[in-house]
Amino acid sequence: MNPEYSVPLSIDSRIQSYLRASLTAGRETARIGCFLASSDPTSTNVYRNYAVPDDGANPAPSEISWLVDWYAQRSRVPRLEYLPRAAPKIEPALVLSGFSVEARLPLMICKIDGVPRLGCPEAIEILSAKDEVTLKAAAYAQNEAYGEANTTEADVTRLRRIIQSGGMVLLARDLLTGEPAGAGLYSAPIGGVVEIAAIGVRPRFRRRGIAAALTSQLTRTAIESGVLIPFLMAAHSAEECMYARAGFVTCSEILHISKLQAG
């Protein structure tokens, strides 16, 4: 973890509470022992299917077994995303039950008085996606950015649900051609906390500052609406540096851990 900025453990708990609460949007959920499990019936994407544990939980082997079975019944990978500082006993218990760490991602937050104004790159506009055309363009840009093969109606419905619940979707597009270049979003804030998420730029538009501009605008809008803790997860060091330009600092980590099933 980058030692440049530290926060109280209570911030980790608030973010983890947000992660649990956000699981209910458009997904099937179930309380399984100390875990809140979720599954998206429209997508096998592992980032749409995962569980979050209770703070301070110490799961029994039977609870972990029930969790694995729940995901197996839905043809999904048993998987968790959570903050280890808020539940330090979870990882050792999962590893003993055959889980393997996928990644430890930097968790970054932005102080509400520390968001720089990053303008749009030349010949790019950023607008709020609200109608069918712009929402489909945003879904298309995100899917290509993250290597998804096709854009489906379920993708558009998911973005529309975010807006209807009080979140925001931004679309970056080429001013000359109208072609979608990138997109990003945040879901409805919960308890003053919100995740800046799904920042994606299509390969041919990268390295022009579009992702940083999307991040900055989403964060500023969230703060203006009353958010006190905007956070995000960086996939790698290059992303971490980019988000730092948008005012974010690394303060903790998110653990991704899963269990691959035999056969």
What is the predicted pLDDT for the residue at 25? 85
**What average pLDDT does this structure show over 158-177?**
97
Question: Regarding predicted confidence, which is higher, 31 or 261?
Answer: 31
Span 5-62, pLDDT tens digits: 556 668 999 999 999 999 998 899 999 999 999 999 999 999 999 999 999 999 999 9
pLDDT top residue among 35 and 237: 35
pLDDT band at residue 260 using 50, 70 and 90 as cut-offs: confident
Give me the pLDDT at residue 5, please: 56
Q: Which of 2, 8, 52, 59 is nearest to 33 (CA)?
A: 59
Residue that has been written with the tokens 């303008």 in this structure: 119
pLDDT of residue 149: 77
Confidence (pLDDT) at 3 = 42
pLDDT in tens, 55-96: 999 999 999 999 999 999 999 999 999 999 999 999 999 999
Dihedral of CA 155/161/167/170: which sign? positive
Please give the pLDDT value at position 1. Answer: 41
pLDDT computed for residue 2 by the predictor: 43
Predicted local distance difference test score (pLDDT) of residue 7: 60
Distance CA 160, CA 150 (A): 18
Helical segments of the chain, H only: 9-22, 61-73, 90-96, 132-145, 153-164, 210-224, 237-245
Question: For strand 193-201 and strand 180-186, is the pairing parallel, antiparallel, or unpaired?
Answer: antiparallel
Which of the residue ranges 68-82, 219-233, 249-263 would you say has the lowest mean pLDDT?
249-263
Q: Which domains does the chain have, with CATH numbers?
A: 9-106+254-258 (3.40.630.30), 124-246 (3.40.630.30)
Q: Report whether pLDDT(109) > 90.
A: yes
Query: What confidence tens digit (pLDDT) does each residue in 111-124 have?
Result: 888 788 888 899 99
Q: Quick one: pLDDT at residue 115?
A: 85
Reported as a single tens digit per residue, the pLDDT across 135-167 is 999 999 999 999 987 899 999 999 999 999 999
- pLDDT of the residue at 69: 98
Q: Judge contact between 159 and 153, C-beta under 8 A.
A: no
The answer on pLDDT for 194 being more than 60 is: yes
